[in-house]
Structures are given as C-alpha cells and as structure tokens.
Amino acid sequence: MARRALITGITGQDGSYLAEHLLGQGYEVWGLARGQANPRVSRMRRLLADVKVVRGDLLDQGSLISAVERAQPDEVYNLGAISFVPMSWEQAELTAEVTGMGVLRMLEAIRVCSGVSRGGSPNGQIRFYQASSSEMFGQVSETPQTESTAFHPRSPYGVAKAYGHFLTQNYRESYGMYAVSGILFNHESPRRGAEFVTRKVSLGVARIKLGLAGELRLGNLEARRDWGFAGDYVRAMHLMLRAEKPEDYVIGTGRMKSVRELVEAAFTAAGLDWERYVVTDQGLHRPAEVDLLCADPKKARVQLGWEPTMSFEELVAMMVESDLRLLTDGGDPGDGSWP
Ligand code: NAP
Ligand code: F7E
C-alpha cells in the first residue's frame, strides 16, 4: 500500500517541491490548506492536481486533529509558517502563534490521533518532520554551524523556530515519538516568494533587462548566507523521515556568499553591470541582522547520503532565466513562484 504524507505549507515553495518529490516516490500526498478563498490554494490545485487537499490552519487545534484523522498519514511534514523574517517584527504575536505554537498544535494532533501516552512507544507511529531554520543560530558562536552549535536567534521568527525545534525534541524524548527537525539553511528556486532577497534580485534584474524598471532597491549588501536549491533540500526532509533513528540534521551547502555577490552574479547572468542599477536603502535594514550563516552538512552527508546538486552560480542563473521568461510571457510575478 502507498505511504501517505500530510504536508502543512503545501502552497509554499517547499510544499510544492516536497509534494512533487513524494508523488514521484509513489506516496499519497495530502496538503493542509487554509482560508476561505485563498488564491494560492486554487493555484496549487491546478499545478499539483494529484495532491489531496484537506482544510486546516496551524492556529486551530481542532482542524489539525480532523486533518490527521482524514489523511491518516504515515508521515507529517510541518512546513507551514510565517516565514518572512521582517514580518516577524511587525506581527510578532502572530508569528509566535503560527511558527511556534503551530508546532505544538501539530504535535498534539499526532499524539492524540495515534494514542501516544507518556513513556509509551506507539504502534503504527506517525513520523513528524519540523522545518527548523538556520535563523535559530542568529548571532553565530562558531562557523560553520553544526547540529550542536548554540542558538542565539535575532528575530521573533528565529525565536519561534527555536521553540518549535526544542518542542519537537521534547516530544521525541517525552513520548518516544519519531519526531525530527531539519535545520535548513536558505534555499531558493524560481518558486521562491518575491519578498525574499534572491527572488527580489532575480525579478529586479529581469525587469531592468526588459526595460520595465530602472533600479533595484536593497538593504544590507554585506550579509552572508549559505544559499542552496530548494529541490535538493526537500530530498533531505524525506531522507530524515526514512532514517532508522529519529535525529536532527543541518542541511546546507557549506558555502557562503554575500548579498553583494548574489547581486553581482544575477546582473552578470543577464549581461548587466549591477553598480549602475542597485540603490541601497537604510529602510530595508533589519532591527537586528544575522550577519552570516554557513552550514556544516557533514552529518547529513555521512548518515543520510545527502548532497546538494546545484551550485550557487547555477541557482542564480536559473532564477534570472526563469524570471526573464515569466515577464516576457506576460506572467504575473505574484504567480512567478509557479513557472
Ligand atoms: P513559504 O513559501 O513562505 O510557505 C509558507 C507556507 O506556510 C505557505 O504554504 C502558507 O500558506 C503556510 N501558512 C502560513 N500561515 C499558516 C497557517 N496559519 N496555517 C497553515 N499554514 C500556514 O515558506 P518555504 O520557503 O516553503 O519554507 C517552508 C518552511 O521551512 C517554513 O516553515 C519556513 O519557515 C522553513 N524554512 C525555510 C527556509 C528557506 O530558506 N526557504 C529555510 C529554513 C526553514 P498560505 O498560502 O495559506 O499563506
Ligand atoms: O534575506 C538581506 C537580509 O529575506 C537574506 C527565510 O526563508 O532563510 C530566509 O530568511 C539576507 C538578509 O532571507 C534585502 O538583510 C538585503 O540578511 O532572503 P531573506 P532570510 O532572512 O535569511 C531562513 C533560513 C529562513 O528560515 C526564513 O524563513 O538578505 N537583504 N537586502 C535583503 N533581504 C530582503 N528580503 N530584501 C532586501 O531588499
């Protein structure tokens, strides 16, 4: 019988790649979708026609219990979150509720539905994946960051993710649940939301190249990140849930680039000189910045056999080409996450 997976955050970047990956592995895939008339849900239904949709919201405990009862999953991937770091300062309480408390509600739904009691090891265990983030490292105490690097989050988002991370560990230890966290570093694609810097840059470059814009306004060009391809990272999520033992893993490339280098690579891919177009704007700087993040993915390589397949340069070129095509074809950049 086909394995069954339930994915929260199905309308997001990772939800789409993970659903495609699991469908390709023969899974029956269920996606948790929220809202009464959420346009991202109808778009997802069109593009991922084989995904079964179940309604629910990470803010609503009862809806998560119903979703688990309905989907009867073997695996739950909790990707739903408020994931844009600047928004987490503007709506800190909502971020805590969705990105933090949402993890508790999902774990409780699984615990209740599988009849797990304290100290007991359940039969027919539902395996749980939590989308943890390198933002938990924040002001880093060492570089590169590993599974044992201390957390010092720098935003309400990072704090909420740290809560979800520790809670996932705690449910594993308290109830013997198969519950793991992937500590994923930044991962991008043509489906990335337009608010994140890689996509903002690839769309900006495409607009300038096509004569639709004359400048690109950005914040801190000196921040450094470890950027990889989202399609590679969802494979790691699945490998973590199929491993013999439930453990947490750092997932990244081990290579760090600055926003300035990102900008340079993207403009070069379109045959443009970035210095003519990029304007820096203090208003786009964050109240507390994460200056650098760089993964040490050795544990995932050794224990899971996971490796990234796409270089930073290939990723940037792919995103610029995709946005040039999208805008040339008259596509809506709001829809750009689904080329
Ligand atoms: P994304 O594109 O922003 O998607 C976020 C998803 O969360 C959307 O499907 C959104 O659904 C859903 N969501 C928001 N509020 C919800 C609620 N109240 N109840 C249920 N679902 C809700 O994020 P992503 O890049 O795919 O990332 C997936 C996960 O990995 C997130 O948890 C993110 O924080 C984490 N993460 C991402 C990265 C990265 O670099 N991409 C790195 C580390 C960790 P709607 O369409 O309904 O808004
Ligand atoms: O910023 C700098 C900004 O918004 C990256 C999320 O998926 O990855 C993501 O979080 C860097 C920051 O991603 C602009 O200051 C400069 O230093 O693309 P971002 P993020 O904050 O790293 C982590 C791992 C997650 O978990 C999150 O969910 O780029 N930057 N100028 C800018 N960033 C943006 N967005 N816009 C600018 O104009």
What integer pLDDT is reported at residue 117 of this predicted model? 64
**3-class secondary structure per residue, the chain:** CCCEEEEECCCCHHHHHHHHHHHHCCCEEEEEECCCCCHHHHHHHHHCCCCEEEECCCCCHHHHHHHHHHHCCCEEEECCCCCCHHHHHHCHHHHHHHHHHHHHHHHHHHHHHCCCCCCCCCCCCCEEEEEEEHHHCCCCCCCCECCCCCCCCCCHHHHHHHHHHHHHHHHHHHHCCCEEEEEECCEECCCCCCCCHHHHHHHHHHHHHCCCCCCEEECCCCCEECCEEHHHHHHHHHHHHHCCCCCCEEECCCCCEEHHHHHHHHHHHCCCCHHHCEEECHHHCCCCCCCECCECCHHHHHHHCCCCCCCHHHHHHHHHHHHHHHHHCCCCHHHCCCC
Residues 6 or more apart in contact with residue 166 via CB below 8 angstroms: none
Residue 178 appears among annotated catalytic residues: no
Q: What is the pLDDT of residue 175?
A: 96
The residues, any chain, with a CB within 8 Å of residue 45's CB and separated by 6 or more, are 51, 53
133, two tokens: 């983030």
Atom in ligand 1 nearest the alpha carbon of residue 35: 47
**The CATH number of 4-187+228-251 is which of 3.30.1300.10, 3.40.50.970, 3.40.1260.10, 3.40.50.720?**
3.40.50.720
Closest CA to ligand 2's atom 4? 196
Residue minimizing CA distance to atom 33 of ligand 2 = 197
For the chain, which residues make up each domain, given as ranges?
4-187+228-251, 193-225+256-293+310-335
Active site residue 133: yes
- Span 193-225+256-293+310-335 CATH architecture: Alpha-Beta Complex (3.90)
Ligand 2 mean position to 88 CA, how many Å? 12
- Options 28, 75, 135, 264, the catalytic residue: 135
The Å distance, Cα 75 to ligand 1 centre, comes to 18
What pLDDT sits at residue 332? 80
Give the pLDDT confidence score for residue 338 in this predicted structure.
47
pTM score, two decimals? 0.97
The residues lining ligand 2, judged by C-beta closer than 6 Å to any ligand atom, are 83, 85, 133-135, 185-186, 195-197, 200, 218-220, 223, 225, 259, 284, 286, 289-290
Q: What is the pLDDT along the chain (339 residues), one digit of tens a residue?
A: 899 999 999 999 999 999 999 999 999 999 999 999 999 999 899 989 999 999 999 999 999 999 999 999 999 999 999 999 999 999 999 999 999 999 999 999 999 999 876 544 444 699 999 999 999 999 999 999 999 999 999 999 999 999 999 999 999 999 999 999 999 999 999 999 999 999 999 999 999 999 999 999 999 999 999 999 999 999 999 999 999 999 999 999 999 999 999 999 999 999 999 999 999 999 999 999 999 999 999 999 999 999 999 999 999 999 999 999 999 999 887 755 444
